[in-house]
Amino acid sequence: MVDYGALVKLIEESDIITIFGHAYPDGDCYGCQIALRELIRDNFPGKKVYAVGTGIPAFFERMSPMDEVDEETIAASTAILVDVSCLRRVEDPRVCKAKRFGKVDHHQPSDLEPFEGVAVVEPNRIAAGEIIAEIALAYKWRMSKLAAEAIYLGICTDSGRFVYNGTTARTLEIVSILRRRHIQIRSIHQIAYYESPEKKKMKTVIRRKAKRYGEVVYAVLTQPMYERCGMTADEALHQVNALAKVYREAHSYALFVYFNDEQIDVELRSNNGYPVHGVAVKYGGGGHRYASGCTIYRSQTEIEDVVRDMDLAQKGDDNAGA
Local confidence band at 316 (pLDDT 50, 70, 90 cut-offs): low
Question: What CA–CA distance (Å, rounded) separates 249 from 43?
Answer: 49
Question: Span 144-168, mean pLDDT?
Answer: 95
Decide: helix, strand or coil at residue 169.
helix
Mean pLDDT of 266-276: 90
Reduced to 3 states (helix: H, G, I; strand: E, B; else coil), residue 313 is coil
Report d(CA 59, CA 64) in Å as an integer. Answer: 7
pLDDT at 124: 93
Q: What span, in angstroms and rounded, lies between the C-alpha atoms of 2 and 316?
A: 23
Distances (CA, A) of 20 to 29, 39, 204: 9, 15, 34
Q: Per-residue pLDDT for 46 more than 80?
A: yes
Distance CA 133, CA 128 (A): 9
At the topology level of CATH, where does 197-311 sit? Answer: Diaminopimelate Epimerase; Chain A, domain 1 (3.10.310)
The amino acid sitting at 32 is C
The model's pLDDT over 87-138, given as tens digits with 9 standing for 90+, comes to 989 999 999 999 999 999 999 887 777 899 999 999 999 999 999 999 999 9
Say which residues have a Cβ less than 8 Å from residue 272's Cβ, sequence separation at least 6. Answer: 251, 252, 315
CATH 3.90.1640.10 residue ranges of the chain are 5-192
- Give dist(CA 177, CA 264) in Å, integer: 42
Confidence of residue 318 (pLDDT cuts 50, 70, 90): very low
Every domain of the chain with CATH number 3.10.310.30 lies at 197-311
Looking at residues 125-154, what average pLDDT do you find? 98
- The model carries a pTM of 0.88
Across the range 179-193, mean pLDDT stands at 96
Q: Superfamily assignment of 5-192 in CATH? A: inorganic pyrophosphatase (n-terminal core) (3.90.1640.10)
- Quick one: average pLDDT of 174-183? 96
Q: What percentage of the chain carries pLDDT values higher than 70?
A: 98
191 close to 180: Cβ distance less than 8 angstroms: no
Q: What's the rounded Cα separation, in Å, for the pair 289 and 270?
A: 9
Look at 320 and 206; give whichever has higher pLDDT: 206
Per-residue model confidence (pLDDT) at position 301 = 85
Asked if pLDDT for residue 83 goes beyond 90, the answer is: yes
Q: What is the pLDDT of residues 227-252, one digit of tens each?
A: 999 999 999 999 999 999 899 889 99
Phi then psi dihedrals of residue 119, to 5 deg: -115, 130
| Orientation of helix 145-158 relative to helix 169-179, angle to 10° | 150
Average pLDDT over the chain, rounded to an integer: 94
So what's the pLDDT on residue 157? 97
pLDDT of residue 273: 82
DSSP 8-state class, residue 260: S
